[in-house]
Amino acid sequence: MKHIPRKRFGQHFLSDPGIIDAIVRAIAPRPGQHMVEIGPGLAALTQPLVERLGRLTVIELDRDLAARLRQHGQLDVIESDVLKVDFTQVAQTLAAPKIRVVGNLPYNISTPILFHLMAHVQIIEDQHFMLQKEVIDRMVAAPATAAYGRLSVMLQWRYAMEDVLFVPPGSFDPPPRVDSAVVRMLPHARPAAVDEALLSELVQVAFSQRRKLLRHTLGRWLEGHGYAGGFDTQRRAEEVPVAHYVALAQELAPA
């Protein structure tokens, strides 16, 4: 029976063989590696992955698709909302020091998924995700560009990222109304030690009015926190490199 894509799950199934092959080549799975796929759907990417790996863990929310996937002898199926999955526990269950994570992420919750995974980054070897092209542009954006923002700062602090493949709407069934792309995310081996919640808060304040100079937003916030350091607030939020935001958060952290 043909599966009808469900809008509430943001389902757009990959169907272009050439794009599927290009994604698999970008991921480069090898036999015996511990990999977790988010949102396998109709297994377009799942099948070539498991053929190369030997075994694959998949996370699927749609119960009909999960039931279909369980019939595959080489798949371990976790039927769950990915935002409720403890990836550290998954790695422990697989007896794997590190896991690789891949998937065609539902565009309506892609950012929450990225931040959820960041909480488990210690056990992640790498991540390859298909996302809305606009989101990936923001993830990899350099300072002083229109796409640079909170998402850029928070993720670049923790990962080295690369836009590896453009995916047009016609590669899906049904086609989404936006362009897509594949991003590679490699956790930094030695990220700067910083209070993540504090960094997130100050970056959110900084970009709350991105057209204004920081003295109007972050400057006032810093005054309220008793900051007397030399951070330059005569800049706009998008002009400040990731390292400067991180250094500021380190300065603000209690001794």
Q: How many residues does the chain have?
A: 255
Confirm or deny that 216 is annotated as ligand binding. no
Confirm or deny that 32 is annotated as ligand binding. no
- Cβ atoms of residues 182 and 167 within 8 Å: yes
- Cβ atoms of residues 35 and 53 within 8 Å: yes
- Cβ atoms of residues 154 and 200 within 8 Å: yes
Task: Give the C-alpha separation, 215 to 200, whole Å.
Answer: 18
Confirm or deny that 108 is annotated as ligand binding. no
Bridge partners, 185 (sequence order):
127, 161
Task: Give the C-alpha separation, 10 to 8, whole Å.
Answer: 6
What's the longest Cα–Cα distance across the chain? 66
**Considering only CA atoms, which of 147, 142, 117, 144 is closest in space to residue 129?**
117
CA distances from 141 to 30, 133, 135, 163 (A): 30, 12, 10, 10
Neighbours of 225 (CB within 10 A): 11
Confirm or deny that 12 is annotated as ligand binding. yes
CA distances from 235 to 153, 238, 244 (A): 16, 8, 12
Confirm or deny that 39 is annotated as ligand binding. yes
Confirm or deny that 104 is annotated as ligand binding. yes
Task: Give the C-alpha separation, 18 to 12, whole Å.
Answer: 17
Residues annotated in the binding site for S-adenosyl-L-methionine, as ranges? 12, 14, 39, 60, 81, 104
Residues annotated in the binding site, as ranges? 12, 14, 39, 60, 81, 104
